[in-house]
Structure 1
């Protein structure tokens, strides 16, 4: 945050101020009625004290804004991650050099003013912020810690400078700088120890003629606009459809993670954490990955990781920040069907599919069936203590297994690492 945006100031009269006005008016009225000049003077003095306090506040606020017009906020790290502490540094700086007299005025101002910043409870963990303030004659620097508790975008700022008059009649909070929305990534679990096993397991899967030949492992279907020089004619003739060489190099089998988001808030965050953890672990194992489903923009759902794991991590996590619960079961089913169709349409041959699913409707299951034909499809199916939902989850697992998927059940209070390991070895235990 830099700049000098339009500032606002909230000025509040204290009970002392209201008392001075009330007693002043009453004393003045009684003095006039009794022809007592002393009471009149006393009343005028009390009311005048409030007027002088108001002029003092107006002068001090205007002087402050004129002397310290610039504010800058730094959030470290940015974006934040739910459950991981972050730090905020807010600097309010002087606009230009000053004479000795003005320097003394600035020093007086910085020493007499308090500064704090507004932050959403989702950024502070529901607790107040304990800030330290460093003061010089040219700046005020506020430093405090955040403990974000929820994924999303949450408001932070503006900084508020608190000032009051010497009589304690008025106080004011003046905004400095701008408010902004800080992105918070979901918490993730490190699953990389088993991610390599998943990708290696995919290489060993052989299901008759459904597994492409070695020549086909780095090929994909031709798309309009592809360079014809990339067409692999021998494989195209063998499979009866035009194939082009994929951008993926051998040994870097890509993966797609499909999300099916629930409407329950707790389950929603669990599903997002699970999907993000899987994607990042595959990425850390050296394989390109993408997220599909949950209403994500299809144009942005491309494999990431070709330009480095760190850039890929940011791209994956940034996609999760604004995810919301579906408005209805029908909407969730529509998102999942669209994701399954997209994965089937433009998946690279040999691609691994991992799904994080709710108990599914028949239409969604039908859309997922073709993805199991390769033998490289795994799924976590979330279940719960609800008997009906648990039975639907079991039926979902049976349907997916019949289609060639390897599946494991998951619950929001289960250990994600154990669920992940169970899912990877599901086919070996059946």
Structure 2
């Protein structure tokens, strides 16, 4: 159920002046035994009381008449650097038109929306407000500047009494966390170079049939419909068809999360762009980043290709930098091992790495044996040499590898990697 509206009422400087002046004048009237001063003081204080009562009654009437707000964000989720639009509608709880008094009250109210600076690019929002006797509508633009989930709302309705003695801010609609996807680069044109002749890679020139898929041992979480029962009976152990069925070579994207904020966003954008290009080429993707859990077992786009892009980008929204280099290395090592456990015949592997320690490098060596592994090693400033050393070690293990910086153009970098695999 949506949160009920709340209101905060405060005295304005005029109200404070009237209340203070009334007390002082009334006190002087009593002290000097001058009834007119007493009457003036009482009138000043009474005006504050009357203004407060008028505002409180108005707010109560507003809360009963306009109990909830409806917010629409388009597109949803948002994407870094891509403008969005928000429309907030606060409508009457009844279908009847308001009275003249309520119409006047509606026209005197001012409505605004609170938005995190990450959603507005640090700029103030300029809203278009339309109103009738029975509804408010507030529309404004957003320009997200950071990936993540950021608060939007509640809507604030500002009101004051006719004399400007009291001011009230009434929140309507509650707060909502808006997900923001990372910025991505369209690499679809080069996806074919990565995946090769995707419909022919497994079985050569002949067209594959559904029963030609490679078989592997059953793992917990596999779909039982993929079990190949005749082969399982012959071998005495459960075997399942692997993902290269129908010639659709899968891909795995390994993302090593940096601790630096700028490098983190660049790495996430690079990995997401690569993963999306593979999905757009019609191939399923495994995306490993951060702590790796059971939810990463299945290929994105294998069972529900229509929502594959959203599924992959959703996985990037909550990614955060590791608390330490040690934890980051452990996350990556777990992802590498999970990749090795589930790798299928013909699977492509792409990694976006920081300079790697010996343990991670050793774990990556077997994945390069088939010559279907690509790596981007990011190095900035002090660790440039370490990045070059990591790339050289991966190339010796059969990987195609290049180095990059957090300011490197992703499209150019990707083209360089696919064509040469040498340092960019």
TM-score by length of 2: 0.91
Q: 1:347 to 1:44 in 2, by over 3 A?
A: same
1:390 corresponds in structure 2 to 384
Q: 1:144 to 1:428 in 2, by over 3 A?
A: closer
Q: CA deviation at 1:110?
A: 1.7
1:184 corresponds in structure 2 to 180
Q: CA deviation at 1:70?
A: 2.5
Q: 1:228 to 1:391 in 2, by over 3 A?
A: closer
Instruction: Find out whether 1:230 has 2:228 as its counterpart.
Output: yes
The C-alpha deviation readout for 1:211-266, integer Å capped at 9, x for no partner, is xxx999842521246569516859x99xxx98532244333100000000100000
Unaligned runs of 5+ in 1: 207-213
Q: 1-side partners of 2:167 and 2:292: how far apart?
A: 48
Mapped contact 2:361–2:394 kept (Cα < 8 A): yes
1:308-319 equivalences under 5 Å are 309-319=305-315
Q: 1:271 to 1:138 in 2, by over 3 A?
A: same
Q: 1:202 to 1:396 in 2, by over 3 A?
A: farther
1:367-406 equivalences under 5 Å are 367-386=363-382, 389-406=383-400
1:114 corresponds in structure 2 to 110
1:266 corresponds in structure 2 to 262
Q: 2-side partners of 1:301 and 1:382: how far apart?
A: 27
1:221 corresponds in structure 2 to 216
2:205 corresponds in structure 1 to none
Q: 1-side partners of 2:292 and 2:137: how far apart?
A: 40
In the TM superposition, structure 1's runs of 4+ consecutive aligned residues that sit over 3 Å from their partners are: 201-206, 214-218, 224-229, 231-234, 241-244, 307-310
- 2:346 pairs, out of 329, 343, 350, with 350
Q: 2-side partners of 1:202 and 1:91: how far apart?
A: 49
Q: 2-side partners of 1:66 and 1:135: how far apart?
A: 18
2:334 corresponds in structure 1 to 338
Q: 1:248 to 1:136 in 2, by over 3 A?
A: farther
Instruction: Find out whether 1:410 has 2:414 as its counterpart.
Output: no
Q: 2-side partners of 1:411 and 1:217: how far apart?
A: 43
2:41 corresponds in structure 1 to 43
- 2:281 pairs, out of 277, 285, 308, with 285
2:195 corresponds in structure 1 to 199
Q: CA deviation at 1:422?
A: 1.4
- 2:250 pairs, out of 254, 257, 260, with 254
TM-score by length of 1: 0.90
Q: Helix, strand or coil for the counterpart of 1:323?
A: coil
Mapped contact 1:219–1:243 kept (Cα < 8 A): no
Q: 2-side partners of 1:25 and 1:132: how far apart?
A: 43
Q: 2-side partners of 1:134 and 1:347: how far apart?
A: 57
Mapped contact 2:26–2:42 kept (Cα < 8 A): yes
Q: CA deviation at 1:391?
A: 1.2
Q: 1:301 to 1:161 in 2, by over 3 A?
A: farther
The CA RMSD over aligned residues, in Å, is 2.6
Q: CA deviation at 1:399?
A: 1.3
